[in-house]
Chains A and B, each alone.
Chain A
């Protein structure tokens, strides 16, 4: 369902379902962008990012970007833009531990909150809250206090994801200097973004290292430190996770899903899937239709 809603406190919510769309914009406020079904691509300068239902993108205030939807089936695009005052209020109540801060997150320098502009995994709590919110808006609910309750909670969810994905990961890096840790983690996130976006293509380590502005050795070592996984293992997990979304939301045959998520051989896909989820893809799909 399509709508654009501006609340009295200037928080904004957009919902649009499109198979094709192309737009260039500049964010007026810090925004979360979701693709609840299908995928949406973003270009910011030379960075290309693609979001799927298991992830979302944070855009800081004043970011120039182009977004594109080009799909056979309609994509549910949903976004929230937070008013600065609302964010500041929230931040005062829920400030992140100061020692763990990246960028200016949580700090009020120049009164603008600035977070790591990257693709984040969409946690189950955030996904469910967003789903509930969207359902209420689709049903025409006008109660702004209720809507703001959900927006408040999406920030609580985001702060937890931020702590897990950014602050805690930076702490794991073996560098004494905090600034170095932050810089390396930012670059590792560039590598992660690249995998989130190109997960179904053949990605070489050289290519990945180039996008992260790190040497191959450096990338391998630091990635493992931060995420407890090699980039290859991370990519395999991501492909398996996305195959699960396709098994759940589409009727594509399994052989087709194998190719769609970037595996070459169905038997190794089935083996890896079973190792990870203790169920075969076929049985997983059957279990959902019961």
Chain B
């Protein structure tokens, strides 16, 4: 068993797809009909076998996600995403787990760019 899909609720599907593909560098896969009401668009990056599914929030469920994106160089990705117009909440911060930077999409979902660091190694 493994995790394959997580879901993010968005208000505007077209805009969300554009945010993921043009700004974050994700690729969109074919839409999947998970249930009768909603089509979901799986998005993935670097050909990984994990997807975030964009789900249009038609009602007012207001469900918010917080996605942690792993990177091996937080400052580089922070800089590149900022150049692409991603609006970060602040500068990258040093935490006990490593270096991280956070941004939001237009629908209140949070994304954390995390470079995990092993502080015990030399």
Contact = CB atoms under 8 A, between A and B. Distances in A.
Interface of A: 53-54, 124-125, 128-129, 132, 136, 143, 145-146, 149-150, 153, 156, 160, 241, 244-245, 248
A125 B79 contact: no
Contacts of A248: 122
Given A125-B99, A132-B75, A153 B92 contact: yes
Contact of A128 (B78, B80, B92, B117): B117
A153 to B, nearest CB: 6
8 A-B pairs with least C-beta separation: A124-B119, A146-B79, A149-B79, A132-B73, A149-B75, A244-B122, A245-B122, A125-B94
A136 B77 CA distance: 13
Contact of B75 (A124, A129, A160): A129
Contacts of A124: 117-119, 121
Given A54-B122, A146-B79, A125 B117 contact: yes
Contacts of A53: 122
19 contacts: A53-B122, A124-B117, A124-B118, A125-B117, A128-B117, A132-B73, A132-B76, A136-B76, A143-B79, A145-B83, A146-B75, A149-B78, A150-B75, A153-B75, A153-B92, A160-B94, A241-B122, A245-B122, A248-B122
B122 to A, nearest CB: 5
B64 to A, nearest CB: 29
Interface residues on B, range: 10 to 19
Contact of B76 (A146, A156, A160, A241): A146
A132 B74 CA distance: 10
Interface of B: 73, 75-76, 78-80, 83, 92, 94, 99, 117-119, 121-122
Contacts of B83: 145
Contacts of B79: 143, 145-146, 149
A125 B100 CA distance: 12
Contacts of B78: 149
A160 B119 CA distance: 15
A216 B95 CA distance: 40
B73 to A, nearest CB: 5
B90 to A, nearest CB: 12
A163 B66 CA distance: 33
Q: For B75, B78, B99, B118, which residue has the most chain A Cβ atoms within 10 angstroms?
A: B75
Nearest to A133: B75
Contacts of A54: 122
A32 B79 CA distance: 23
A288 to B, nearest CB: 9
A132 B73 CA distance: 7
A220 to B, nearest CB: 29
A176 B118 CA distance: 39
Contacts of B99: 125, 128
Q: Which of B80, B121, B122 has the most A CB atoms < 10 Å from its CB? A: B122
A244 B122 CA distance: 8
Given A124-B117, A145-B83, A149-B75, 16 more contacts: A53-B122, A54-B122, A125-B99, A128-B99, A129-B75, A132-B76, A136-B76, A143-B79, A145-B79, A146-B75, A146-B80, A149-B79, A156-B94, A244-B122, A245-B122, A248-B122
A132 B121 CA distance: 16
A262 B119 CA distance: 26
A245 B121 CA distance: 10
A268 to B, nearest CB: 22
A206 B79 CA distance: 52
Contacts of B122: 53-54, 241, 244-245, 248
Nearest to A157: B94
A56 to B, nearest CB: 14
Nearest to A244: B122
